[in-house]
Chains A and B, each alone.
Chain A
Amino acid sequence: MAQILADRRDIDFVLHEQLKVEALSAHGRFNDFSRKSIDLIINEARNLAVKEILPTQVDGDRIGARFDQGKVQVPPSFHKAWKALREGDWLAMTEDPDWGGQGMPRVVATAASDYLMGANFAFMMHAGLTHGAGKLIETFGTDAQKRLYLKKLFTGEWTGTMLLTEPEAGSDVGALTTTATPNPDGTYSITGNKIFISGGEHDLTPNIIHPVLARIEGAPAGTAGISLFVVPRIRVNDDGSLGEPNDVVCTGIEEKMGIHGNATCSIALGGKGGCRGTLLGEANKGMRAMFMMMNDARLMVGNQGLSCASPSYLYALNYARTRLQGRHLLKMMDKSAPAVPIIQHPDVRRMLMLMKVHVEGIRSLFYYLAHCSDRIAVSADPDEKARLQGIIDFLIPIAKGYVTERCFDVCSLGVQVYGGYGYIREYPVEQLLRDCRITAIYEGTNGIQAMDLLGRKLGQNQGRPIMDLFDEIRGTLAAARDADRAAPLAEALEPAVIRLEEVARHMGTTALYGDLPTAAAHAHPFMEVCGDVVLGWQLLWRARTAAEALAAGAKEKDVPFYEGQIRSAQFFTAVLLPVALGRMDAILSGCAVAVEIPDDAFGGK
């Protein structure tokens, strides 16, 4: 039967064959997560996703979040799905059981999210942001703040958000003007206007907890004067019960291209002077806290990209297998030849291959990143922890910026495979394309991601993280050379790895000692080629794993799957890697035209 949302065989392959995650269960904190438990978790995540969350996908899009006089209603079907999500404890899968979490390895939670988010990521944003807000309170909160808010967030009794953006402070967070005035009782009065607040208002839960970035009166300008506050929508009494409304008012929601199921709110804080918040963490250290949350949020956005791309691929694949149209290319002249499923047409196969390699490579990347976090959690070696964290930090802008660009491409191909029907709302690929588009923009546009990679991550710790990443890649290259059919693929990938090292040095030198604007103009292409090599690495890792399984005598039903893994890596190295190498040449050319062209020469005046 055709699978939907995410290919179960592929998920199992990455978890158990590529990464062998069951080894985590040897460590005390992950004892409960044997292979059997992991498989059961994935089964049940899929069950819940397909039966409860997927039916909300179209409602989210067509009914959408509705705004009326300061209140937002989510589509009615969201309520039942939220209840099921809460009852199953799916909101804080990886968190501390003492606070309502389930203590799961991140890699297993990532796999479960493949289904949960794949079913409706606009709905699941409520859960993701709630988790993020909870994590901030867990990390930086006082005992009282944790007691009041944490368990209620991690169990989904209330939701959480993040109030960061203002009309004049988007990518430039330091420009924000929301103010916090100290009160005698230790609280702060918050005044300001926030925009683009996902899930900022809704009727899903009785309270919403807003972490808010604001500037304490008299604090320094820029990011050095920003503090973080906890601002509940409804005030919470000491005993945990709900008190008075907190003068947090939703003044409108945006009409968007996609993710209609999640209200994007404008929020007025303290319009009547009655908004109270408590400081979260240290004064003027709000940005530091924000960065911690942002790393997780950026990974989540990358995952959202995949949660559009993976379903789009499976829908397109199934459509291509069943849609009869046109004669086989080699029987074009035979008028009596039957129409064939469009999967038999070479150009459709080309599109499906592009979709396949990206969905699979990106899935492996996310599971790998999550698995690195789990390995940090169980490691006792501080050097190993630092090494893995460095690799994660380096890969985050790629897992957000590169990944969401490719996922949008995949969704676009999904529409293309359907032809005219793909452009019609009745078919699911149309919504996935629209929903996916935001992922390249929010949580730091992909341009910001590229600058993060170039400006912060590349030179971090004297370039240690990128060198460690190259070591990991070389490890895979070496192992693949001994793996039969993967050996020529390793040969094909290696020159691109060597070339990327050269490009990275060039970019680092240009940014530091040469011409920063030109380097910045090549930052996005640099992120793209890093992403291509990382994708090639993951695909090679898969191919090697598959080649070994085939050589060892795979079960009959697994043979086509493993064959597909080797074919993916072949396609990538033969068809896409040369393009990446061409891009690398373009970067090394140091072309400064985009920087130097006079503004007027863009024309249009």
Chain B
Amino acid sequence: MEILVCVKRVPDAAENEIAVEGGALRGDDLVYSVNEWDNYAVEEAIQIVEREGGSVTVVTVGDGESEEVLRREMAMGANQGLLLSDPAFAGADGLGLATVLAAAVRRGAYDLVLTGAQADDGAAQVGGMLAAILDWPFASLVNSIEAQGGLLRVGREIEGGAQEVSEIDLPCVLSIQTGINEPRYVGLRGIRKVASVELPVLDAAALGVAPAPARVRRIDYFVPPAGAGADMLTGSTAELAGQLVELLKAKGGLK
């Protein structure tokens, strides 16, 4: 099975103090990594290929810096990487990104496209839009995949702890939920293998797309101030825990 996995380089939530300036995260201060959900999607793709044969391609839309996330996912086990990069893609909204990705999908012969369920800095929209542009079936929040001939049997996580199982025709787009697997660690052998691999870069002309100007634009970005009814505890972890216990006791949550 030929699988394309869309991945994204995002500010690492575990690494960054939130520093906001002029309605945006301050870029200079950020440490980036692969979007957490995407690791699960890549792991799932690798496992499917291990069972069914085929290959895994990872793709991202971004500048030269984004190459590092492709290389990382290839060190993990993806077979090829593809960087979609053009100044015209900068500032694209979800639809713009989906348009660019759709052009890349059409250039290949993929049976399956995976995305993370959402990105740390995203809106959980690209997977669905991509499927619509391609006119492919789509399942979101997928937490299990089983190949059955020409179709897939996918499990989806439903609110309230329920599980839904669907059959979906190939080719299709799936957005992958964390917990579907345990993403493998990247080892030294993998890193060495991809150390000197040249990654193909496709620009707008090569893809034959000209994404429309973003029609969704972020106008502000901030950490909300503590509002009424919210009690912000401060202190060390041990103190926080102590205060929390006292609060729970006082409010009747703990007897």
Binding site for B on A (CB under 8 A): 1, 31-34, 36-37, 39-41, 43-44, 47-48, 51-52, 84, 87-90, 93, 102-104, 319, 322-324, 421, 555-557
Contact = CB atoms under 8 A, between A and B. Distances in A.
B9 to A, nearest CB: 13
A52 B75 contact: no
Given A1-B17, A324-B234, A557-B28, A104 B188 contact: yes
B187 A90 contact: yes
B196 interface: yes
A40 B68 contact: yes
Contacts of B195: 31-34, 36-37
B185 A40 contact: no
A555 B71 contact: no
Contacts of B68: 36, 39-40
A6 to B, nearest CB: 14
A44 B191 contact: yes
Contacts of A48: 185
A446 B186 CA distance: 38
B228 interface: no
Contacts of A90: 187-188
Contacts of A87: 184-185, 187
Contact of A31 (B71, B196, B238): B196
Contact of A88 (B71, B186, B196, B239): B186
Interface string B168-192: 0000000000000000111111011
Interface residues of B, number: 27
B148 interface: no
Contacts of B235: 322-324
Contacts of B14: 1
Given A87-B187, A88-B188, A93-B188, A421 B72 contact: no
B55 interface: no
A577 B239 CA distance: 39
- Which 8 A-B residue pairs are closest in the complex by CB-CB distance? A88-B187, A32-B195, A102-B188, A89-B188, A44-B186, A37-B195, A557-B29, A323-B236
27 contacts: A1-B14, A1-B17, A31-B196, A32-B195, A32-B196, A36-B71, A40-B68, A41-B188, A41-B191, A43-B33, A44-B75, A44-B185, A51-B185, A52-B185, A87-B185, A88-B185, A88-B189, A89-B188, A102-B192, A322-B236, A322-B237, A323-B235, A323-B239, A324-B235, A324-B236, A421-B238, A556-B29
B126 to A, nearest CB: 25
Contacts of A44: 72, 75, 185-187, 191
Contacts of B186: 40, 44, 47, 88
Contacts of B192: 32, 37, 102-103
A560 to B, nearest CB: 11
A324 B14 CA distance: 24
A1 B33 contact: no
Interface in B1-49: 14-17, 28-29, 33
Contacts of A51: 185
A421 B15 CA distance: 27
Given A32-B196, A33-B195, A322-B236, A40 B71 contact: yes
Interface of B: 14-17, 28-29, 33, 68, 71-72, 75, 184-189, 191-192, 195-196, 234-239
Given A32-B196, A52-B185, A40 B75 contact: yes
Given A322-B235, A324-B235, A1 B71 contact: no
B196 A84 contact: no
A51 B16 CA distance: 18
Given A1-B15, A557-B29, A40 B191 contact: yes
Nearest to B67: A36
Given A87-B184, A324-B235, 4 more contacts: A36-B71, A87-B187, A88-B187, A421-B238
A285 B15 CA distance: 52
A502 B169 CA distance: 82
Nearest to A558: B28
Contacts of A41: 188, 191
Nearest to A557: B29
A324 B239 CA distance: 9
B168 to A, nearest CB: 32
Contacts of A103: 192
Contacts of A102: 188-189, 192
Contact of A84 (B17, B185, B236, B237): B185
B185 A47 contact: yes
Nearest to A342: B236
A109 to B, nearest CB: 9
A44 B34 CA distance: 12
Nearest to B29: A557
B179 to A, nearest CB: 15
A52 B28 CA distance: 30
B78 to A, nearest CB: 14
Contacts of A322: 235-237
A40 B28 contact: no
A161 to B, nearest CB: 24
A556 B29 CA distance: 8
A18 B11 CA distance: 27
Contacts of B234: 324
B185 to A, nearest CB: 5
Contacts of A31: 195-196
A52 B236 CA distance: 25
Contacts of A84: 185
A32 B195 CA distance: 5
Contacts of A47: 185-186
B42 to A, nearest CB: 14
Nearest to B75: A40
A263 to B, nearest CB: 26
A340 to B, nearest CB: 12
B158 to A, nearest CB: 29
Q: Which of B191, B192, B239 has the most CB of A within 10 A?
A: B191
A47 to B, nearest CB: 7
Given A1-B15, A1-B16, A557-B28, A319 B188 contact: no
A90 B75 CA distance: 14
Contacts of A555: 28
A40 B236 contact: no
A1 B18 CA distance: 9
Nearest to A102: B188
Contacts of A319: 236
B26 to A, nearest CB: 8
Nearest to B68: A36
Contacts of A52: 185
A32 B191 CA distance: 9
Contacts of A40: 68, 71-72, 75, 186, 191
B240 to A, nearest CB: 9
A376 B184 CA distance: 35
Nearest to B18: A1
Nearest to B192: A32
Contacts of B16: 1
A51 B184 CA distance: 12
A396 to B, nearest CB: 26
A41 B185 CA distance: 11
Nearest to A40: B191
Nearest to B16: A1
A115 to B, nearest CB: 13
A43 B196 CA distance: 18
Q: Which of A33, A48, A84, A88 has the most CB of B within 10 A?
A: A88
